[in-house]
Amino acid sequence: MTSDTPVISCRNAWKIFGPDPKGYLKSMPAGRSYDEIRADGYIAGVKDVSVDVGKGEMLVIMGLSGSGKSTLVRCFSRLHDITGGTIEVEGQDIMALSENDLIELRRSKMGMVFQSFGLLPHRTVLENVAFPLEMRGQDKHARRERALEVVKLVGLEGREDYFPRELSGGQQQRVGIARSLAIEPDIWFLDEPFSALDPLIRREMQDEFLRLQGMLGKTIVFITHDFDEALRLADRIAIMKDGAIEQCDTPDQIVLNPQTPYVRKFTEDIDKARVVHAGVLAGPVNGRAPEGDPVQGDQTILQLARQLVNDTRDYLPVTGKDGALMGVLERRKALDVLLGDG
């Protein structure tokens, strides 16, 4: 994450489905549970959610089917109107926007990629990528130039004249990503974009996605039900259940300190050593300045396994990317993460 300034700010947001959602929310007793709301004949797709997304951050929203993750993202872009609360995008209350202003916000600021590729079968790769620019009214030469640029960016150079039926699933997904990038969005919504792909292609697409994010620095909200994918991609993870966010935190903290039984169940089979970084476990120096080779704060405990087992020091210096001392790592604590407590 490159900035703490929220690009998306969501406060006490509700999305209730039913015959009179606004009237029901207004009269609903405080603390009503998801099951109690359902017993009343309503569904809480989003239940009192408050969360911010910072500039340049990749927030991954995950949960089981029906947890509310897709509904929440559709509220962020006002594809769903919320029943209560507020959602601001770059300081604008999106519920207060006129239809024309909302369309302009989506066209100029937002890109969306969904699990179903949604490619136009009668158009080539280049024509599919240029389609949103055509809808924007951009002239033919300018939209071709931009489409060629993003096709190259996602690694499809040489396939510009292919039709979707002539592409693999992974290549089709790249076309979908290129199409959403063509409008140069500041905010990027991705709803399980890789879930239809086989494991090898999925891994390759994750690598490609991380490369693109490293180059472009977009603000991203990424939906997945795959915890391994979330751990690999996220700056922060929001875990949802029954329309509510159970915990929103960094991958390290989600794994180290699950806040609810539901989150703990998500993390119980995860190898903590491959997720937790030395910098997260580092404590203050407090006069301890161990000599010898430091460890890098952005290395995982698994990457440091051999050194931790062989090193005889009780405390190891931890340095940041700039080489400056950021704290000391208690070897015993790191070994507990690596080998298990005790």
- Greatest C-alpha distance within the chain: 69
Mean pLDDT value across the chain: 91
Residues contacting residue 136 through CB under 8 Å, at least 6 positions apart = 107, 183
Q: Is 166 among the domain residues?
A: yes
Q: Is 71 among the domain residues?
A: yes
Q: pLDDT tens for residues 30-83?
A: 999 999 999 999 999 999 999 999 999 999 999 988 999 999 999 999 999 999
Same domain, 113 and 180: yes
Q: pLDDT tens for residues 165-195?
A: 999 888 888 898 888 888 888 999 999 888 7
Same domain, 254 and 297: no
pLDDT for the residue 4? 64
Q: Give the model's confidence band at 342: pLDDT under 50 very low, under 70 low, under 90 confident, else very high.
A: low
pLDDT for the residue 181? 83
Same domain, 203 and 297: no
Domain boundary among 252, 270, 288: 270
pLDDT for the residue 1? 47
pLDDT for the residue 170? 83
Name residue, tokens 């600021």. 109
Q: Where are the beta strands (DSSP E) in 64-175?
A: 84-89, 92-93, 110-114
Residues contacting residue 84 through CB under 8 Å, at least 6 positions apart = 12, 13, 14, 16, 22, 25
Q: pLDDT tens for residues 190-236?
A: 998 887 777 887 888 888 888 888 888 899 999 998 888 999 999 99
Same domain, 114 and 200: yes
Q: Is 57 among the domain residues?
A: yes
Same domain, 55 and 186: yes
Where residue 108 sits, what CATH number does that domain have?
3.40.50.300
Q: How would you label 11-33 residue by residue, b for 16+ Cβ within 10 Å and e otherwise? A: eebbbbebeebeebbeebeeebe
Residue whose C-alpha is closest to residue 194's, from 161, 165, 229: 229
Q: pLDDT tens for residues 68-125?
A: 999 999 999 999 999 999 999 999 999 999 999 999 898 889 988 876 667 899 999 9
Question: For residues 166 and 163, what is the distance between their CA atoms, to the nearest angstrom?
Answer: 5
Instruction: Summarize the confidence of residues 284-296 as an average pLDDT.
Output: 80
Structural domain of 308 = 273-339
pLDDT for the residue 241? 96
Q: Is 118 among the domain residues?
A: yes
Domain boundary among 214, 248, 270: 270
Same domain, 259 and 318: no
60: left (phi over 0), alpha (psi -120 to 50) or beta: beta
Domain boundary among 270, 297, 321: 270
Q: pLDDT tens for residues 261-283?
A: 999 998 888 999 999 999 999 99
Q: Is 322 among the domain residues?
A: yes
Quick check: 325 pLDDT over 80? Answer: yes
Q: How many domains does the chain have?
A: 2
Q: Is 13 among the domain residues?
A: yes
pLDDT for the residue 340? 81
Q: Is 1 among the domain residues?
A: no
Question: For residues 224 and 298, what is the distance between their CA atoms, to the nearest angstrom?
Answer: 24
Token couple for 49 = 């959610």
Quick check: 155 pLDDT over 60? Answer: yes
Q: Give the model's confidence band at 244: pLDDT under 50 very low, under 70 low, under 90 confident, else very high.
A: very high
Q: Is 244 among the domain residues?
A: yes
Same domain, 265 and 278: no
Same domain, 71 and 183: yes
Token couple for 254 = 């989600």
Inter-residue contact 235 to 61 (CB < 8 Å)? no
Same domain, 30 and 162: yes
Name residue, tokens 């409008």. 183
Where residue 295 sits, what CATH number does that domain have?
3.10.580.10
Cβ neighbours of 73 (radius 10 Å): 22
Instruction: Summarize the confidence of residues 278-289 as an average pLDDT.
Output: 84
Same domain, 164 and 282: no
Same domain, 262 and 278: no
Same domain, 80 and 207: yes
Q: Are strands 315-319 and 295-296 parallel, antiparallel or unpaired?
A: parallel
